[in-house]
Every structure is written in structure tokens, then in C-alpha cells.
């Protein structure tokens, strides 16, 4: 029976696992250059792979500035917003990861309490993913639209496929594939951790 004083910590551990697994998998799938390069179409006058590598480095927080040419001013401003979101996600990922390390040390002599939080976090993430899969199956367009309305405070993400190169190389279909990879990776990593929790719990 878990102590009343530990219940709040178990909730924090569960939330940390949820956030860490989701965001670390987001980093993995979002910055996989080969995934994008295999899907790019030719745009006359530009080296798409070179231009997109600059975009990925910028969005990933690298010390690089985007200039007008392949991208217009509207696209550059939008990518600045995207960079801000990824910087926030990395901060939350490291905070949640650090909290897991600290709680792991704190509960080193009562590790089953820590494992309970990890288990609940994995279960919560799997339930969230299944819900997101269900909603995406009904209408990915609606999920995609509502995400952008929540994530961005402006309408700069509404790009014109006839004029804006960013939407030409990153149509909605690519984002749909990214989401599928993210959900798959998150479920697999959650299941692996649940198996490890079961093994460790049986040995302590």
C-alpha cells in the first residue's frame, strides 16, 4: 500500500515520464533529415536538401540565421515561432528527465514507489496516443488545424502552396507521417519501459 505522502510524488513521476517520452520521441522524428529528403520534390533554382538542412538546424536551436531567398519573410517569421516551440519542448524534456533522475535517487531504497509512477506515466501516454489515433482516424485535418490554432498566436502558419516554398516541401501529408511515427515510437518506448519495470520490480 502506497503511503499518502508518496501519492503526490507518484503523480509528478507519472507526468514526468509522460512528458519526457513524448518529447524525446518528438525530437527524434522531427529532426530525421533522411526522412524528409526521401520525400522532397525538385524546386527549380534551389538545392532543397541544403536549404532544408538550414531550416532544421535553425528550428533545432542552432546558431544560424535564415535569410530571404528560398524562404520569404512570412515563412521566416513562422519558423521563428516554430523554433520557440521546440526550444520550449526541449526545456520541458530536460526538466522532466532531471525530475525522474532526482526521484529515482530519492526512492532508491523504496524503488517500487518510483516504478509505480513510471508505470502510470507509460499507461497514461499509451491512452493519450490511442485517443489521438482515434481522433486522427476520424479527421486528421481537424487535429492538424486545432493544433496550429492552439500552438500559434498568429495565422502565419497559413501558407500558400503556390507561393511559399515551405509548404511545397512540407505538405500536410508529411506531417501526417511524422505524427504516425511519433505515436508509434512513443507506444513502443512505453511498452519497452513497462517490460523493464516488470522485470526490475520482480527482482527487488
Q: What is the pLDDT of residues 129-170, one digit of tens each?
A: 999 999 988 999 999 999 999 999 898 889 888 888 899 888
Break the chain into its structural domains and give their ranges. Answer: 4-203
Residue pLDDT, tens place only, 33-79: 888 887 776 666 677 888 888 999 999 988 888 888 889 999 999 99
3-state secondary structure of 13: helix
Alpha-carbon distance values, 67 to 17, 19, 44, 74, 153 (Å)? 38, 33, 18, 11, 23
pTM above 0.85, yes or no: yes
Amino acid at each position: 500500500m502506497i503511503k499518502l505522502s508518496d501519492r503526490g510524488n507518484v503523480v509528478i513521476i507519472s507526468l514526468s515520464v509522460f512528458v519526457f517520452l513524448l518529447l524525446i520521441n518528438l525530437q527524434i522524428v522531427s529532426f530525421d533529415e533522411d526522412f524528409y529528403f526521401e520525400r522532397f520534390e525538385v524546386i527549380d533554382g534551389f538545392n532543397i536538401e541544403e536549404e532544408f538542412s538550414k531550416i532544421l538546424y535553425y528550428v533545432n536551436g542552432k546558431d544560424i540565421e535564415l535569410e530571404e531567398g528560398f524562404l520569404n519573410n512570412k515563412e521566416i517569421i513562422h519558423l521563428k515561432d516554430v523554433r520557440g516551440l521546440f526550444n520550449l519542448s526541449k526545456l520541458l524534456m530536460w526538466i522532466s528527465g532531471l525530475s525522474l533522475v532526482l526521484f529515482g535517487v530519492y526512492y532508491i531504497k523504496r524503488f517500487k514507489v518510483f516504478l509505480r509512477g513510471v508505470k502510470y506515466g507509460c499507461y497514461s501516454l499509451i491512452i493519450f496516443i490511442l485517443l489521438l489515433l482515434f481522433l486522427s482516424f476520424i479527421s486528421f485535418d481537424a487535429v492538424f488545424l486545432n493544433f496550429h490554432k492552439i500552438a500559434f498566436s498568429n495565422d502565419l502558419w497559413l501558407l500558400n502552396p503556390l507561393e511559399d516554398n515551405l509548404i511545397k516541401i512540407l505538405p500536410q501529408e508529411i506531417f501526417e507521417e511524422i505524427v504516425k511515427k511519433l505515436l508509434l515510437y512513443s507506444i513502443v518506448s512505453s511498452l519497452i519501459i513497462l517490460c523493464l519495470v516488470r522485470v526490475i520490480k520482480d527482482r527487488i
